[in-house]
């Protein structure tokens, strides 16, 4: 059975700033503190965390939503890609970033839940809070 998670955090930046950073090589690398390759084009492939994460942009709504096929090197070789939806909504303190991550391989949800906090939400708060 495949797992899923939904989690969110408020990041001290505009939705447009986050959207642009997520989908650019320099922005994503700077935002997370680790090498990435990204572009804001549907169908474009991306990598993050020095190749640990990889996938394809499936849907892009500027400043509002990013949907990607997503996998890591920890996925079993025969496992299909998971799906990540990143939704951005303005709040008085910045932008609520909500991650909806579905079709995660069995037994891996807890690790990715912690990973999203440690390797995305916390670095993003620091990066945009400067």
> 10-residue block means of pLDDT along the chain (130 residues)?
93 98 98 97 98 98 98 96 98 97 96 97 93
| The pLDDT of residue 86 | 98
Residue pair 21/55 in contact (Cβ under 8 Å)? The answer is no
| The pLDDT of residue 130 | 61
Q: What is the pTM of this model?
A: 0.95
Structure tokens given for 109: 């949800």
| The pLDDT of residue 10 | 98
Residue 18, domain extent:
3-129
| The pLDDT of residue 14 | 97
CATH number of domain containing 90: 3.30.530.20
Give the position of tokens 């998971």.
Answer: 82
Let me know if 25 is exposed, middle or buried by CB neighbors in 10 A (0-12, 13-18, 19+). Answer: middle
DSSP state string for 32-58: HTS--B--SSTT-EEEETTTTEEEEEE
Q: How many domains does the chain have?
A: 1
Q: How many CB atoms lie within 10 A of CB 34?
A: 16
């Amino acid at each position: 059975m495949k797992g899923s998670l939904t989690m969110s955090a408020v990041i001290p930046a505009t939705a447009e700033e986050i959207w642009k950073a997520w989908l650019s090589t320099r922005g994503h690398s700077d935002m997370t503190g680790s090498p990435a390759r990204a572009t804001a084009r549907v169908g474009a492939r991306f990598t993050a965390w020095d190749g640990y994460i990889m996938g394809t942009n499936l849907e892009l709504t500027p400043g509002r939503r990013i949907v990607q096929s997503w996998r890591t090197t920890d996925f079993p070789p025969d496992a299909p890609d998971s799906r990540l939806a990143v939704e951005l909504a303005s709040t008085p303190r910045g932008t609520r970033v909500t991650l909806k991550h579905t079709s995660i391989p069995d037994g891996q949800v807890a690790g990715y839940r912690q990973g999203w906090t440690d390797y995305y939400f916390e670095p993003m708060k620091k990066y945009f809070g400067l």
